[in-house]
Structure 1
Amino acid sequence: MPDTTSSDVDTVLLDVDGTLIDTTYLHALAWMQAFTARDLTPQWWEVHRAIGMGGDRLVGEICGDDVEESLGDTLRDDWERHYRKLLPDVRPLPGAVDFVRGLLDAGYRVALASSGKAEFTDAALEVMGFERADLAAVTSSDDADDSKPAPDILEVALKEAGGARAIVVGDTVWDVASAHRLPAACVAVRSGGFAEAELRDAGAVLVVDHVGELARRGWRP
């Protein structure tokens, strides 16, 4: 596997949904249930492509600023309620646990930098068999003023991890954009449903199918 970063990277910032756990389409389902209950009818592809940006941006991105102003908080509450019911279906993506353990064993500071809610990040940790104390930092949307594609959550995760230079691993063009604004290189995985060409065009330095492939190849920053 080609070298994708410089050797002074000490921290790996990991997205969660679609990168470590197979939840992209569960989030899309929960959002669609929230929208349709309020007589809003976006298409599935529109919802899917917005997964990965913060929920504070998603409603306006899909339904426009008027809907965000009138129903934004209500829709986010509804999404949380619907997604909470889907938590029993959450599973790690292939090789995700080995990938994280490999980075920890290699001595990297590993931090989760998710735009999701803290309770859902904790649920992801539980299903993967990790605790917060196992990682250098665990952050969520509650820790940042502005969500992806802004770099805020990455900045907070890097600072809390005590790192100096990071690489980001994510699954969406929003992850790549936020990494560039940090700035940091971004390795992208296709497990969130974005095409390789889209991720490369956004600026990903490497694209693979899922993090298990990185683990299998022994990838290191």
Structure 2
Amino acid sequence: MADTAIFDVDGTLVDTNYQHALAWYRAFLRFDIVLPIWRIHRSIGMGGDQLVPSLTSDEVEERHGDALREAWTEEFEPMIDEVQPFDGAHDLLAEVTRRGFQVVLASSGKSEHVEHFLDLVDARGLADAWTSSDDVEASKPAPDLVQTALDRVPGSSGIMIGDSPWDAIAAARAEVPTIAVRTGGFSPEELRDAGAAHVFDSLRDLIDGLDDTPLARARA
């Protein structure tokens, strides 16, 4: 049994995945790199340090990686006010807290974006801690973010709640099980193949099904 619920933020609590994909598409275009948006979407959930070489090559990462990530920031930030929380985001955090879990928001996003989304979900009074890209050397699918999230609280075991295969892979590498929601646009098969033990269509469905997951109650 777990004592800590580790929540991904982008694509899980707030509806950002398609804005991220479009921002990356426009960032790559600045360097005359044209990628199908569907391919970019399949990599959303990775951190930018992993996404660039995964979609292109190590050479592109070496030559343009930092500039591409800066371009992504410039393209994403004008869209940030369009972002909305998913229905049930605040209620899910509140219910998991009520059941006795510590809550850590494990984001690999920029710290200022994380702060914005915390307010959007009204999560500051519910989360025991949170992370950003400033806190790890390697982002998902590396396990660093999940382990850092666990290190932020005195708990000893966690359960990951995420929306992408990269959440599940990162959690598995940290020996943490995953509950997935389809809010990021990935199929149940993709999520299960990546290691998710449970898959729900929405946050409301997850709230209704909590009793059948490791989030039924926290370890005493």
Shorter-chain TM-score range: over 0.9
Query: Cα distance, 1:64 vs. partner?
Result: 1.1
- Among 169, 189, 212, the residue aligned to 2:204: 212
Q: 2:6 is matched with which residue?
A: 13
CA distance in 1 between partners of 2:181 and 2:79 (Å): 23
CA distance in 2 between partners of 1:116 and 1:75 (Å): 15
Q: Does 1:63 align with 2:56?
A: yes
CA distance in 1 between partners of 2:195 and 2:116 (Å): 30
Moved over 2 A (4+): 216-221
CA distance in 2 between partners of 1:23 and 1:212 (Å): 18
Determine helix, strand or coil for the equivalent of 2:13: coil
Determine helix, strand or coil for the equivalent of 1:217: helix
Matches within 5 A, 1:177-192: 177-192=169-184
**Aligned 8 A contact 2:93 2:123 in 1:** no
The root-mean-square deviation of aligned C-alpha atoms, in Å, is 1.2
CA distance in 1 between partners of 2:210 and 2:197 (Å): 17
User: Structure 1: which amino acid aligns with 2:69?
Assistant: R
In the comparison of the two structures, how many residue pairs are matched? 213
Matches within 5 A, 1:122-137: 122-131=115-124, 134-137=126-129
TM-superposition CA deviations, 1:149-206 (whole Å, max 9, x none): 1111111111112211100001111111111111111001111111101111111110
User: Structure 1: which amino acid aligns with 2:47?
Assistant: G
**Aligned 8 A contact 1:95 1:213 in 2:** no
Q: Percent identity?
A: 43
| Structure 1 unaligned blocks of 5 or more | 1-7
Query: Cα distance, 1:148 vs. partner?
Result: 0.7
User: Structure 2: which amino acid aligns with 1:22?
Assistant: D
Q: 2:87 is matched with which residue?
A: 94
Query: Cα distance, 1:218 vs. partner?
Result: 4.1
TM-score of the pair, normalised by structure 1 = 0.93
CA distance in 1 between partners of 2:155 and 2:128 (Å): 9
TM-score of the pair, normalised by structure 2 = 0.93
**Aligned 8 A contact 1:93 1:212 in 2:** no
Determine helix, strand or coil for the equivalent of 2:2: coil
CA distance in 2 between partners of 1:218 and 1:203 (Å): 18
User: Structure 1: which amino acid aligns with 2:5?
Assistant: V
| Structure 2 unaligned blocks of 5 or more | none
